[in-house]
Amino acid sequence: MLNVLVTYEKPSWQRSIESFLSRQNYVCASYTPLGLGHRKLPRDRFDVVVVECGRDKTRLRDSLASLRRSFPQSRIVLVLERLGINDFAFGYGMGISAVLDEAASPDQLLASLDAAVRGDLYVAGSILKKRGSQYSEMVYDDASPPDRLSEREMEVLSLVARGFTNKAIAKSLYISEKTVKNHLYSIFRKIGVSDRTKAALYAVKSLSSQKNGPYAPLEVFYEIDEPQ
């Protein structure tokens, strides 16, 4: 039995998810509005905590920190109103096992729950979108591991994964924007990608896999098909 806690902002979203999960005979789900209601629940009861939230990153950070304190052993699946590559990087940085948008299908939600329990990192197809176009595949060349990057290139790549612009990277590393562009050109060539979105996904997969923390993923599962 998979024990799931669903915390939510939108009652309409909660009702649709409850209707679906109630038909899954291996899922036992509890529900509470996003906030402080979860503090009265047992710390070791839930395998996965699903967090549905809007675009208020401050509230989201506070809620995630509180949930992490209350359920230190639980995996977390984050569901956002609108999803972008920066949200994925943000989510992983907070120890998230999956990031979805509210348009994700019920089957995608189930896939994210299963991946979270396995200790994998789930990426919905919508995270691979950029300006309305979809990447048909994500290829990572095992012959080009991140240790081929210089220390400075690793720093630049990690900031790209966190959603930093070239200007913000330059300011953070005390270098010029032209130098940032030169580093990005070198990074793209070495890891075999053509733009910063693919580079960010590469960083999340390759750089995060070197972490030894309790939430480092065993595998990264990229789902290509978009929800209908």
The pTM for the full model equals 0.62
Local structure of residue 50 (DSSP, 8 states): E
**Whether 57 contacts 81, CB under 8 Å:** no
Q: 67-95, pLDDT tens digit by residue?
A: 888 888 888 898 887 766 566 666 766 66
Sign, Cα dihedral of 28, 31, 34, 38: negative
Pick the CATH number of 2-134+209-222 from 3.40.228.10, 3.30.70.3270, 3.40.50.2300, 3.40.50.1820: 3.40.50.2300
Cα torsion through 221, 96, 31, 21, rounded to 10: 0
CATH architecture of 146-191: Orthogonal Bundle (1.10)
Nearest-5° Cα angle at 63, 58 to 65: 95
- The counts of H helices and E strands in the chain are 8, 9
Q: 109-155, pLDDT tens digit by residue?
A: 888 898 888 877 776 655 554 433 333 333 333 434 455 788 899 88
Instruction: Over range 28-50, report the average pLDDT.
Output: 81
* Domain definitions of the chain by residue range: 2-134+209-222, 146-191
- Integer CA distances (angstroms), 161 to 45, 49, 81, 198, 216, in order: 33, 24, 20, 9, 16
